[in-house]
């Protein structure tokens, strides 16, 4: 940390002038013959693209053909005016960014509008719950309200026992359902991505302002984070809720846990990147102890809501020990103790089960970093979504790497943010988390990656003063293109990443009604069979019924199962058990898109079971079929 200051090269690309508070208050006079610096746009102009973009988006909404989605999900059902609205909002954001130092609320308004434009269409349009598997969270809230108690040690099928072992998020939603007097959490479930995104914005701003005084860099980081947050973990689920609490804890730690005498030259403005903020003031032991007491309830809430996020928090706090500024062992000890206390009490069944699987998963980097628990993406839409996912990750990583290498002084001062972003990577060597570890590591590393990606695109104020006129002219040309082009490319990558598999995510109400009738008719203790659990109301009445999702396994096993599916299922049904098979359109789309069944496999499954004397059709509908097993004992 005691290296000599070196000039910071211009990285990236923007025509943006230095914002107020970037640390460069002494600009050199313009040279003779140099082009006059363009003045920022008038404040009133910043609002025009905002209202125009929102108006175009509203005009596009009723023209989105979500009921007729095909192989490309929602992508080829979005009208041209929808894309124009996104372009207008992006252009308006770039204009507002030029005055971010004096008018930071305009970039904030554009960030909120873009979040709404990208993630609100399903909430506004859909007549059913987006993400069929999200309906199980609604089922947990319903069960909690109906039973009025938690049963963490009850053996529930469908991997549902964990929800009673980590009930914090569901208890909160049960209270909200009661407080607002709505029928269930499904009423507001589709709005979760928008609400959680809005709540996350001030947390990101607080995090980024810890390391930069340049409002342009702050809002560019928030904007990039939103475009790169395609992971789909912000629906109504414990992960999205715990994620906000996790980042809030880190923001408080990074601002209020600085050890006295640890900053060194990082408090010297001449040593810092022009956009960097000085290290926050140091705090004494008593102040840090008070902060630990304040943060303890948040950490308890994280532990009560989600299994993985406490682990991510602990590894992030551990990574901060590698810096002199945040070598605080007390908070890490408290976070680790709270995590272990919960895991060994309320979460003990799943915790011990997970420990038992570590021998198989430990060190299996290839398997632990796979996307999904079985199969490969198939079909134009899912394949395009998978490719876009990879390209988005590579693009963000490449931009962040450019900033780390080219703006070394900023990387030194923001080293803690870099460390907490890289901290989750070793978890690839531990477990696959049901095929989702790849997405979770990316999600937890994204805040820091977005900040450094923005640093690669928003140039440091006053950098490269000694450069020749020709070099400055080249940089101006690059600056006029790189930031807007990159933001447009990232927006283009977000759409297939987030909506390319939308055919799996939207369920017609008639299918939901079919499943609800079938599950409601099943006597208590019955067994519900389905190809996969990714269909609406799959776990409705989960505390009264048993479940077997028989196709959630590797493709070769499913191919053997299709040789005689009726016999395969009959052999797996315990004697004397009432059993019902529910096969729906959403299962068909999901098993095909995720590569669980071969082409035409679901149609074969449906026809074979309907023709088998072992099963009788109870109800048949274009969206699905319900069959009852004819037990020999009956």
**Residue-wise pLDDT tens digits, 162-190:** 898 999 999 999 999 999 999 899 999 99
Q: In terms of C-beta density within 10 A (0-12 exposed, 13-18 middle, 19 or more buried), how is residue 18 classed?
A: buried
Q: Is the pLDDT of residue 21 over 70?
A: no
Q: Are residues 445 and 466 in the same domain?
A: yes
Write down which residue in 468, 502, 536 finishes a domain: 502
Strand segments (E) across 342-450: none
CB 299 within 8 A of CB 249: yes
Of 502, 524, 554, the domain-final residue = 502
Helix (H) or strand (E) holding 223: helix 215-228
Same domain? 379 vs 348: yes
Residue 542 and residue 431 share a domain: no
Query: Is 99 in contact with 150 (CB distance < 8 Å)?
Result: no
Which residues 6+ apart lie within 8 Å of 232 measured at CB? 131, 439, 498
CA gap 460, 331 in Å, rounded? 34
Whole-number pLDDT of residue 364: 65
Q: Which of 562, 594, 582 is nearest to 623 (CA)?
A: 582
Tell me the pLDDT band of 365, cut-offs 50, 70 and 90: low
Residue among 124, 162, 149, 204 at smallest CA distance from 449: 204
CA distance 111 to 221: 10
pLDDT of residue 27: 42
The pLDDT of residue 34:
43
CA distance 47 to 92: 8
Instruction: Examine residue 7 and state whether it is found in any structural domain, yes or no.
Output: no
State the total domains in the chain: 2
For residue 228, name the pLDDT band (cuts at 50, 70, 90): very high
Residue 14 domain-assigned? Answer: no
Q: Are 487 and 535 in a shared domain?
A: no
Which of residues 462, 487, 502 is at a domain's end?
Answer: 502
The pair phi, psi for residue 36, each rounded to 5°, is -65, 140
Region 429-452: what's the mean pLDDT? 86
Q: Are residues 352 and 219 in the same domain?
A: yes
Pairing of strands 615-621, 624-629: antiparallel
* 457 and 530 inside one domain: no
- The average pLDDT across 434-448 equals 87
β-partners of residue 528 are 547, 580
| pLDDT band, residue 156 (cuts 50/70/90) | confident
Does 84 share its domain with 66? yes
Same domain, 236 and 296: yes
- Could you tell me the two tokens for 96? 């507002």
Residue 291 lies in a domain: yes
Is residue 156 within 8 Å of residue 164, measured between CB atoms?
yes
Domain assignment of residue 535, given as a range: 509-629
| Shared-domain flag, residues 100 and 237 | yes
In degrees and rounded to multiples of 5, residue 306 shows phi and psi of -150, 145
Residue 167 covered by a domain? no
Q: 620 forms bridges with which residues in the sheet?
A: 625
Domain membership of residue 11 (yes or no) is: no
Q: Is the domain of 537 the same as that of 613?
A: yes
Residue 357 falls inside a structural domain:
yes
Same domain, 194 and 264: yes
- Count other C-beta atoms under 10 Å from residue 367's C-beta: 14
Q: Give a yes or no: residue 95 inside a domain.
A: yes
> Would you state the pLDDT for residue 483?
92
Tell me: do 418 and 542 sit in the same domain.
no
Q: What is the CA 87 to chain-centroid distance, rounded?
A: 23
Q: In which residue are the tokens 């590894």 written?
A: 315
| Mean pLDDT (the chain, rounded) | 86
Q: Could you tell me what percent of the chain has a pLDDT over 90?
A: 64
- Is the CB of residue 120 less than 8 Å from the CB of residue 499? no
Classify 116 in phi/psi space as left (phi over 0), alpha (psi -120 to 50) or beta: alpha
Length of the chain (residues): 634
* Other residues' Cβ atoms within 10 Å of the Cβ of residue 345: 11
User: Residue 436's pLDDT is what?
Assistant: 78
Q: Identify whether 33 is part of a domain.
A: no
Least confident of 369-373, 520-524, 576-580: 369-373
pLDDT at residue 29 greater than cutoff 70:
no
pLDDT at 84: 97
């Amino acid at each position: 940390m005691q290296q000599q200051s070196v000039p910071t090269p211009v990285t990236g690309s923007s025509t943006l002038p230095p914002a107020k508070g970037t640390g460069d208050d002494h600009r050199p006079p313009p040279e003779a013959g140099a082009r006059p610096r363009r003045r920022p746009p008038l404040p009133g102009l910043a609002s025009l693209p905002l209202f125009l973009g929102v108006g175009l988006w509203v005009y596009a909404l009723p023209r989105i053909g979500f009921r007729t989605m095909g192989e490309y999900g929602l992508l080829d059902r979005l009208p041209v005016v929808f894309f124009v609205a996104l372009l207008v909002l992006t252009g308006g954001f770039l204009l507002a960014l030029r005055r971010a130092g004096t008018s930071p609320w305009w970039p904030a308004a554009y960030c909120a509008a873009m979040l709404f434009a990208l993630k609100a269409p399903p909430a506004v349009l859909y007549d059913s719950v987006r993400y069929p598997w999200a309906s199980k969270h609604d089922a947990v809230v319903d069960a909690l309200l109906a039973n009025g108690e938690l049963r963490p040690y009850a053996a529930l099928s469908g991997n549902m026992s964990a929800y009673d072992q980590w009930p914090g998020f569901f208890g909160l939603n049960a209270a909200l359902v009661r407080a607002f007097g709505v029928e269930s959490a499904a009423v507001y479930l589709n709005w979760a991505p928008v609400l959680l995104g809005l709540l996350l914005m001030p947390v990101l701003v607080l995090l980024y302002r810890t390391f930069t005084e340049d409002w342009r860099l702050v809002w560019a980081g928030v904007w990039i984070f939103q475009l790169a947050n395609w992971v789909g973990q912000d629906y109504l689920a414990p992960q999205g809720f715990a994620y906000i609490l996790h980042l809030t804890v880190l923001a408080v730690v990074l601002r209020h846990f600085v050890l006295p005498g640890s900053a060194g030259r990082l408090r010297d403005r001449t040593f810092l990147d022009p956009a960097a903020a000085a290290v926050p003031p140091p705090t004494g032991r008593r102040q840090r102890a008070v902060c630990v007491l304040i943060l303890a309830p948040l950490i308890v809430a994280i532990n009560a809501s989600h299994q993985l996020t406490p682990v991510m928090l602990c590894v992030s706090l551990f990574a901060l020990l590698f810096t002199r500024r945040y070598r605080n062992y007390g908070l890490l000890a408290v976070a680790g103790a709270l995590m272990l206390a919960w895991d060994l009490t309320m979460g003990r069944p799943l915790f011990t089960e997970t420990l038992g699987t570590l021998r198989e998963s430990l060190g299996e980097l290839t398997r632990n970093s796979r996307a999904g628990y079985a199969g490969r993406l198939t079909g134009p839409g899912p394949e395009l979504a998978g490719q876009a996912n990879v390209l988005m990750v590579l693009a963000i990583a490449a931009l962040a790497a450019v900033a780390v290498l080219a703006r070394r002084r900023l990387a030194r001062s923001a080293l803690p943010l870099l460390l907490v972003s890289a901290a989750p990577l070793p978890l690839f060597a531990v477990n696959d988390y049901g095929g989702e570890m790849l997405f979770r590591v990316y999600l937890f590393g994204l805040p820091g990656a977005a900040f450094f990606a923005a640093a690669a695109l928003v140039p440091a104020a006053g950098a490269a003063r000694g450069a020749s006129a020709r070099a400055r002219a080249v940089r101006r040309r690059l600056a006029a293109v790189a930031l807007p082009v990159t933001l447009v490319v990232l927006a283009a990558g977000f759409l297939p990443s987030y909506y390319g598999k939308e055919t799996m995510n939207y369920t017609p109400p008639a299918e939901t009604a079919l499943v609800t009738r079938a599950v409601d008719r099943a006597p208590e203790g019955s067994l519900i069979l389905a190809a996969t659990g990714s269909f609406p109301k799959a776990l409705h009445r989960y505390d009264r019924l048993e479940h077997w999702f028989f196709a959630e396994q590797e493709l070769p096993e499913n191919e053997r199962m299709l040789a005689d599916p009726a016999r395969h299922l009959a052999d797996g049904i315990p004697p004397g058990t009432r059993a019902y098979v529910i096969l729906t359109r959403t299962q068909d789309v999901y098993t095909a898109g995720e590569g669980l069944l071969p082409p035409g496999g679901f149609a074969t499954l449906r026809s074979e079971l309907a023709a088998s004397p072992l099963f009788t059709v109870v109800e048949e509908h274009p969206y699905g079929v319900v069959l009852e097993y004819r037990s020999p004992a009956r």
